A and B are shown apart, each in its own frame.
Chain A
């Protein structure tokens, strides 16, 4: 994965942004940004791989579905993810998230992600490459 991530400000919650050479890389970066809102991504050991598949008519909807699928997996498996691999073809996203069970002492999770929202949700290409971003309710 050759993606990077950053946060952008929202008054109550947090904006997540992934940037990479392809939409898939940008999606992986956005997922990493979501993890970074909760904990230090480097502190998460890639012990368990979880497969995720989403299908949507637009890249915007696909980003919403991808991040929310990860929120669901984190919540029901009591896990955090620190590494992501994403492929997108014909409106289908196939992804793998690597992580481990939450360790409160080691991860010091600041918040839990309630859901990715449509607020500030955009997937677009500019001079930086592909950018995937939205506000996550925490």
Chain B
């Protein structure tokens, strides 16, 4: 991106003043190096979002922002229904409520080291991953609707996990306001065999070591110490969420201008007023998809516990936290000294509530919300914490991952899957995947440096670094 187009406010805050049809400024949080590497499409997309009706304060891009669909990936925008604010299917994305769940295990690296191969094989054999894989759970129509209404709470009620898990999930495991009747039959059909599956692409289940602690008190509150082993699960609402995105994007593209008189700078920004029949229907369906994602990660947690019981029975798996990064949620935020109820879109951005937030579980309230950042197979993942400044900076939001530095096509021409797996094995990282081509496309070298992203997030006051996690075992779809 050409930094000459931006006004530099601080070391890590760049502003595009409103011009043309922009209603508010666009704000990008990044270091000069990250700005330099950002695609110009991010500039185009973050300024396009600033043109949407009812947007409040600014259109934001996180340090890992890259070229997305309508919204940049790494985009945050809040809308006020009282000012004609909109909800956008493109602003949530196809993989509704894609997110990361991290589990504490009570194990140390030394406990795991002799069993790594066995764990890798057992996790790969137990957690369905990759295209065409199916879960063992089959839901009838009533079962699907119950799952879409209940989320992880439904899953725990069916024996997939423990009630204590729910306290460590956003919305306590169940998104209110879900309306399964607004989800198409096609979306439900796509989900029939996909409960408890990881999916493919950048989704994964990883066994990770806590490699470095940056904030001891916060790490203690999160139950993390150097040398501990944790498990992270990255996946979303599977076929159901993808189909909801497809269905409503199509409908919003058709209705935005003729029905609601909204000028769309980009069709992918298709949206509807929050207070409109279409907007309300989408919100009901999207919240059902959030529950689908929460139930999915809960079932995968259950499968993971099964594996650990068999291979390392002394393990005790409990949730550190579960947080989504593709959502639109109703939240109260202080804007110019006034609390306002806003619809906050986070597309490839993680909620990052600061200390004292009433929605946080009591054990985490003094520290701030765990912000879970996924890495690539060979690099670090991170645990951050929401800060007192994150609300004012970007409606309590932070980055979500590394972001690709190289297209899949280019990665495929650069690496062979087998070589990538062998090289990672030499570094002590065991990769299990049904597809060598998938491993090549996900090679660590195809991703940006996630460390630079989280450092920029910390400097910008979006979140603070708590711990760096290094992969030990990777199950990829």
**With an 8 A cutoff between CB atoms, is B229 at the interface?**
no
**With an 8 A cutoff between CB atoms, is A68 at the interface?**
yes
CA distance A114 to B438 in the complex (A): 15
Stretch at the interface among B146-154, B211-219, B245-253, B307-315: B245-253
Interface residue ranges of A80-114 to B (CB < 8 Å): 101-102, 104-105, 108-112, 114
CA distance A26 to B436 in the complex (A): 30
- List 5 A–B pairs whose Cβ atoms lie within 8 Å, in order of A's numbering: A7-B409, A38-B131, A61-B253, A110-B437, A114-B245
A115 touching B245, Cβ below 8 Å: yes
B131 touching A118, Cβ below 8 Å: no
Q: Which of A10, A72, A111 contacts B201 (CB 8 A)?
A: A111
A61 to chain B minimum Cβ distance, whole angstroms, is 7
What 10 pairs across the A-B complex have the smallest Cβ distances?
A: A102-B132, A109-B131, A114-B242, A118-B267, A110-B437, A112-B131, A11-B67, A9-B407, A115-B246, A114-B94
Q: Which of B245, B404, B435 contacts A11 (CB 8 A)?
A: B404
**With an 8 A cutoff between CB atoms, is A133 at the interface?**
no
Cβ contacts under 8 Å, B199 to chain A: 112
**With an 8 A cutoff between CB atoms, is B84 at the interface?**
no
A111 touching B186, Cβ below 8 Å: no
CA distance A39 to B93 in the complex (A): 24
Other A-B pairs beyond A108-B435, A114-B242, 19, CB < 8 Å: A7-B409, A11-B39, A11-B67, A11-B407, A12-B404, A71-B246, A75-B242, A76-B190, A101-B132, A104-B435, A108-B438, A109-B434, A109-B435, A110-B440, A111-B441, A117-B249, A118-B266, A119-B69, A119-B70
**Range of interface residues on B (Cβ < 8 Å):** 35 or more
Interface residues, chain B, with chain A CB atoms under 8 Å away: 39, 41, 66-70, 73, 90, 93-95, 130-134, 186, 189-190, 192-193, 199-201, 239, 242-243, 245-246, 249-250, 253-254, 266-268, 270, 403-404, 407-410, 412, 434-438, 440-441, 477
B66 touching A12, Cβ below 8 Å: yes
Cβ contacts under 8 Å, A45 to chain B: none
A120 to chain B minimum Cβ distance, whole angstroms, is 9
Interface residue ranges of A8-29 to B (CB < 8 Å): 9-14
Cβ contacts under 8 Å, B250 to chain A: 61, 64-65, 68
CA distance A108 to B39 in the complex (A): 31
B90 to chain A minimum Cβ distance, whole angstroms, is 8
Cβ contacts under 8 Å, B193 to chain A: 78
B94 touching A137, Cβ below 8 Å: yes
A66 to chain B minimum Cβ distance, whole angstroms, is 12
Interface residues, chain A, with chain B CB atoms under 8 Å away: 7, 9-14, 37-39, 61, 64-65, 68, 71-72, 75-76, 78, 101-102, 104-105, 108-112, 114-119, 121, 135, 137-138
CA distance A106 to B407 in the complex (A): 24
B268 touching A72, Cβ below 8 Å: no
Q: Which of A76, A114, A121 contacts B267 (CB 8 A)?
A: A121
A29 to chain B minimum Cβ distance, whole angstroms, is 17
Cβ contacts under 8 Å, A110 to chain B: 200, 408, 412, 435, 437-438, 440-441
A17 to chain B minimum Cβ distance, whole angstroms, is 12
CB contacts between A and B, total, < 8 Å: 131
A4 to chain B minimum Cβ distance, whole angstroms, is 16
Cβ contacts under 8 Å, B438 to chain A: 108-111
CA distance A38 to B201 in the complex (A): 10
CA distance A24 to B323 in the complex (A): 43
CA distance A14 to B406 in the complex (A): 11
Closest partner residue, chain B, to A79 (CB atom): B132
Q: Which of B69, B246, B407 contacts A14 (CB 8 A)?
A: B407
A82 to chain B minimum Cβ distance, whole angstroms, is 15
Closest partner residue, chain A, to B269 (CB atom): A118
Q: Known contacts being A104-B130, A118-B249, is A112 close to B189, with CB within 8 Å?
A: no
Closest partner residue, chain A, to B241 (CB atom): A114
Cβ contacts under 8 Å, B70 to chain A: 118-119
Closest partner residue, chain B, to A36 (CB atom): B409
Q: Known contacts being A11-B39, A118-B270, A135-B69, is A112 close to B190, with CB within 8 Å?
A: no
Q: Known contacts being A11-B407, A12-B68, A118-B249, is A104 close to B201, with CB within 8 Å?
A: no
A102 to chain B minimum Cβ distance, whole angstroms, is 3
CA distance A13 to B67 in the complex (A): 9
Cβ contacts under 8 Å, B69 to chain A: 117-119, 135, 137
Q: Which of A9, A68, A108, A135 contacts B246 (CB 8 A)?
A: A68
A78 touching B408, Cβ below 8 Å: no
A92 to chain B minimum Cβ distance, whole angstroms, is 17
CA distance A27 to B300 in the complex (A): 38
CA distance A121 to B249 in the complex (A): 13
CA distance A57 to B268 in the complex (A): 18
CA distance A10 to B190 in the complex (A): 26
Cβ contacts under 8 Å, B73 to chain A: 12
CA distance A71 to B186 in the complex (A): 11
Q: Which of B254, B407, B434 contacts A10 (CB 8 A)?
A: B407
Cβ contacts under 8 Å, A13 to chain B: 408
Closest partner residue, chain B, to A12 (CB atom): B404
